[in-house]
Chains A and B, each alone.
Chain A
Amino acid sequence: MKPVIGLEVHVELKTKSKMFCRCSADYFGKKPNTHTCPVCLGLPGALPVPNKKAIEWCVMLGMALNCDIPQFSKFDRKNYFYPDLAKGYQISQYDEPFCLKGSIKLDSGKKIGITRVHMEEDTGKLIHETTEGEDVTLIDFNRSGVPLVEIVTDPDFDNAKNVLDYLKKLQQIARYLNISNADMEKGDMRLEPNISISTNGELPDYKVEVKNINSFRFVEKSIEYEIERQTNLIKESVKPTQETRGWNQAKQKTVTQRIKEESSDYRYFPEPDIPPIRWTKSQISNLKSQIGELPEEKLKKFKENYKLSDYDAEILTREVIQADYFEETVILGKKYGLTPKQIANAIINRRVDLEKILPAKLIEMIISAGKTDKVNDETLRKVIKEVLEDNPKIAQDYKKGKNSVIQFAIGQVMYIIRKKIDTEILRKLIMEELK
């Protein structure tokens, strides 16, 4: 029995304005229904005007995921009723999305196929609360029309660890492209895995969609729970039901939300209010040129060009801001004879606040930390002798092979002299004295 997992991930873009109107897309924590207009409220007569930047970002994300970018694309209407859906349909893409057939390589070396990357709009938000003793549902349309990119993978995963690795990579790429904060806790990145168990190596004829996974911490737990649940059912010769389940964090399990008898009929048809998009070759190549170095390239470069260890390179490339900061500092540091390794150590060990300490300041700090006071050997020997006499245990321990006592002796000497001395010189002198 082998788990078969495919993923649908929604990434909210951080464009200034919404997908089809000029309202601010920055809705998080804002007073309800203050970022709205006739378009995102779905008022009579209102028409959508697509956000060019959002479309470009969607295509760039597709390119970063090695997708084909068809020259022709269009928007479609996905018709369904829900109170948070202002127009009674969502503008999305059906059969001709912006990006098709991509792939991404995981750390394990496994390649995950990207089925498609398409553009759509977010919905409003329902808030259930009790007002004046009455249970009411309120609607906040601030989120209505915020640009969303949906990334769909092929059913290529067979374990939760790989899913987590994929998500982290996707998040990292979105941040490198600077198109989304991709913060799961804030809902910028939403994940819906489809999980089923194959008993014969073929694709199963059912799948279970899991929702409400709103944190990286729950990804593994919820998927592992679901795999176990379905495996147990199959062992008892029960076929799992095709349904949508939700992750319940308090109970640490998935629970049935909605049982789908068959797939919903969204009555997709081409959005008549938006003309189709035809890319020219130069537009595509122009977008491609706007993509900077992606995490994978940066990692390779850090290891090969800067001779960093896998560990250091991985840490430094995790966030694009840190990677850029490092590279900027390396260029500056070269003039002062600092090696990339010294700079990497400084950034990693000191946990530098990148926003407060500019690269030039960091270099200053590294250099001054390296400076030592000059004290002649005669004086040093005198102090070393004093320290060894006052602490006979040092010599005893050293003879027993405890080399770590040298570090203690160095500290004692520095303490008495009250100066910064090159530790290598001190170590040498102390060892000579101990012989």
Chain B
Amino acid sequence: MSLNTLSIKKAREGLSKRQFSSVELVRACISKIKERKNLNAFITVCEKEALEKARQSDKKIKDRIDLPLLGIPISLKDIYLTKGIRTTAGSKVLDDYIPQYNATVVKKLEDVGAIIIGKTNCDAWAHGSSGENSDYGHTKNPWSEAHVPGGSSSGSAVSVAAKMSFASMGSDTGGSIRLPASFCDVVGLKPTYGRVSRYGIVAMASSLDSIGHFTKNTDDSALMLSVTAGKDLNDSTMPSKNVESYESYLRRGVKGVKIGIPKEYFALGLDKRIKDNVIKSVKSLEKEGAKIESISLPNTEYATACYYIIQPAEVSSNLARYDGIRYGSARQNFGDEAKRRIMLGTYVLSSGYYDAYYKRAMQVRTLIKKDFDEAFKKVDVIITPVSPTLAWKLGEKTSDPLLMYLSDIYTVTANLAGIPGLSVPIGFIDDLPVGMQILGPQFSEGKLFQVGKAWENINL
């Protein structure tokens, strides 16, 4: 068994028992990155720095220093600011940008011993559902290189799926973690808005951006959240809510857990095979003692329209600072998708249109949030498909942005409501991975891990 295929948990055990070294882990990952270079998962690989960090980690392990991620190679979506390491956000505008500071999450990960192996490819500015909007070339799906890996955290999902890193940090504004996780057969968590600090991560749409991660399994996802979550005084949108012991949820099983199945997420437009797979998975959870209930989230149909007003509005403002005056290149280097969102956002915020678009969308957002509040009075979690379709072929939707936007219909709702969502793999259709989404109330990540782990145990 190659070292890079291990889970974080197993790798940590092996490291502390001195069965192998951190240097060996890094080497295994680096050689996989090189072997599958054609997947184009990374924009920057930090081979030398990672090996040096691995050597230092091995010394610490020898000195019996114990840290949750000591010696574990991880990757970061290239929108995480890394001091001294180029950060492009997948855009030529920031082609030569080397940050002067680390994102809070980067600092937290380094503090617990993680080794940054590289910066992963993504849709420029995290705008996209397929990874094809990257100015550094598209990322390929490791299960079928003719297909998209999902986006915008495309390289992050691929780096974990192809065993190039043990975990990868991504960001989810409308589904950018959950969708690629489901297309690549890995576990992807979008935490509650405000659970993980946004400080130092290139902003896409500030009121929707969620900072989460990809892992090989639910145990590792819980571990990653336990080290990245928690109050950061640099992010004023974070409530002071204690970080739970997520690990304690993992062995609880699903007996008595009430699972809601929203009819709106299983309606027209959903690939029947995906529908059948998700229902089958839910049925097997029922066998384990979960209670299944049919529910309704009536405002779901307005979610995508609402999202595509609020998100571009915030994007248009957030991208204003990239004026090429202090760093980066001129604005004509923005790609088509960024330009499209800047124009869309500028339009909906313009005087005379604000009330009709932005204000209205904010009202709809409140309704969507209320739908979930009502639903969670009846059920503990909600299970839905992640995407209405399987991973599509590269180039298939690039000429039709609207079609691309619609691939997020099941994921944008969680961002609008600020609730957490976990995407877990549930099998393959036509040799392409499929995932299901587990949603819960705000700050219920523990519950999501509980259900996710129960599902994993069924499939052992």
A269: which of B81, B200, B201, B358 is its contact (CB, 8 Å)? B358
CA distance A333 to B268 in the complex (A): 90
Q: List the count of A-B residue pairs having beta carbons below 8 Å apart.
A: 96
- Flag if A45 contacts B237 (CB, 8 Å): no
- Flag if A275 contacts B101 (CB, 8 Å): no
Q: Tell me how many residues of B have a C-beta within 8 Å of chain A.
A: 42
- Flag if B323 contacts A44 (CB, 8 Å): no
- Flag if B321 contacts A265 (CB, 8 Å): no
By a CB distance below 8 angstroms, the chain A residues around B237 are 47, 272-275
By a CB distance below 8 angstroms, the chain B residues around A83 are 323, 325
Which A40-68 residues have C-beta < 8 A from chain B? 41-50
A39 closest partner in B (C-beta): B234
Question: Could you tell me the distance in whole angstroms from the C-beta of B332 to the nearest C-beta in chain A?
Answer: 15
Question: Could you tell me the distance in whole angstroms from the C-beta of B437 to the nearest C-beta in chain A?
Answer: 24
CA distance A123 to B358 in the complex (A): 27
A77: which of B87, B205, B235, B317 is its contact (CB, 8 Å)? B317
Contact of A418 with B by CB under 8 A: no
B199: which of A46, A86, A265 is its contact (CB, 8 Å)? A46
A88: which of B87, B101, B323 is its contact (CB, 8 Å)? B323
Question: Could you tell me the distance in whole angstroms from the C-beta of A38 to the nearest C-beta in chain B?
Answer: 5
- Flag if B97 contacts A44 (CB, 8 Å): yes
CA distance A81 to B322 in the complex (A): 11
B202: which of A38, A44, A268, A274 is its contact (CB, 8 Å)? A44
Contact of A398 with B by CB under 8 A: no
- Flag if B320 contacts A88 (CB, 8 Å): yes
A274-B236 in contact given A44-B87, A45-B203 (Cβ < 8 Å): yes
Contact of B428 with A by CB under 8 A: no
Contact of B233 with A by CB under 8 A: yes
A49: which of B87, B89, B236, B358 is its contact (CB, 8 Å)? B236
Bitwise interface map of A from 257 to 274 toward B, beta carbon under 8 Å scored 1, else 0: 000000001011100111
CA distance A87 to B199 in the complex (A): 15
- Flag if B206 contacts A44 (CB, 8 Å): no
Contact of A89 with B by CB under 8 A: yes
- Flag if A88 contacts B199 (CB, 8 Å): no
- Flag if A79 contacts B349 (CB, 8 Å): yes
Bitwise interface map of A from 302 to 319 toward B, beta carbon under 8 Å scored 1, else 0: 000000000000000000
B206: which of A43, A49, A267, A272 is its contact (CB, 8 Å)? A272
Bitwise interface map of B from 298 to 328 toward A, beta carbon under 8 Å scored 1, else 0: 0000000000000001101101111101110
Bitwise interface map of A from 86 to 116 toward B, beta carbon under 8 Å scored 1, else 0: 1111000000000000000000000000000
A47: which of B198, B205, B325, B327 is its contact (CB, 8 Å)? B198
- Flag if A89 contacts B199 (CB, 8 Å): no
Question: Could you tell me the distance in whole angstroms from the C-beta of A396 to the nearest C-beta in chain B?
Answer: 85
CA distance A346 to B210 in the complex (A): 67
By a CB distance below 8 angstroms, the chain B residues around A41 are 326
A47-B100 in contact given A41-B326, A87-B320, A269-B354 (Cβ < 8 Å): no
Contact of B381 with A by CB under 8 A: no
By a CB distance below 8 angstroms, the chain A residues around B322 are 44
By a CB distance below 8 angstroms, the chain A residues around B202 are 44-45
CA distance A83 to B323 in the complex (A): 9
By a CB distance below 8 angstroms, the chain B residues around A47 are 198-199, 234-237
Question: Could you tell me the distance in whole angstroms from the C-beta of A40 to the nearest C-beta in chain B?
Answer: 12
A44: which of B234, B321, B351 is its contact (CB, 8 Å)? B321
- Flag if B81 contacts A45 (CB, 8 Å): yes
B327 closest partner in A (C-beta): A43
- Flag if A88 contacts B317 (CB, 8 Å): yes
By a CB distance below 8 angstroms, the chain A residues around B326 are 41-42, 86, 139
- Flag if B317 contacts A265 (CB, 8 Å): no
Contact of B103 with A by CB under 8 A: yes
- Flag if A48 contacts B236 (CB, 8 Å): yes
Question: Could you tell me the distance in whole angstroms from the C-beta of B230 to the nearest C-beta in chain A?
Answer: 16
CA distance A28 to B203 in the complex (A): 32
B205 closest partner in A (C-beta): A272
A84 closest partner in B (C-beta): B325
By a CB distance below 8 angstroms, the chain B residues around A50 are 236
B94: which of A44, A49, A265, A273 is its contact (CB, 8 Å)? A44
By a CB distance below 8 angstroms, the chain B residues around A43 are 81, 99-101, 327
Contact of B296 with A by CB under 8 A: no
By a CB distance below 8 angstroms, the chain A residues around B199 are 45-47
- Flag if B198 contacts A269 (CB, 8 Å): no
By a CB distance below 8 angstroms, the chain B residues around A44 are 81, 87, 89, 94, 97, 99, 202-203, 321-322
Contact of B444 with A by CB under 8 A: no
Which B315-360 residues have C-beta < 8 A from chain A? 316-317, 319-323, 325-327, 346, 349-351, 354, 358
23 pairs of residues in contact across A and B, judged by CB atoms under 8 Å: A38-B100, A38-B200, A42-B321, A44-B97, A44-B203, A44-B321, A45-B79, A45-B198, A45-B199, A45-B200, A45-B203, A47-B198, A47-B235, A47-B236, A86-B321, A87-B321, A89-B317, A89-B320, A265-B350, A265-B351, A268-B349, A268-B354, A269-B349
Q: Lowest 7 CB-CB distances: which A-B pairs, in order?
A: A88-B320, A272-B207, A267-B349, A272-B206, A45-B200, A44-B202, A42-B321
Besides the known contacts A269-B313, A272-B207, 4 further A-B residue pairs in the complex with CB atoms under 8 A apart: A47-B236, A47-B237, A88-B323, A273-B206
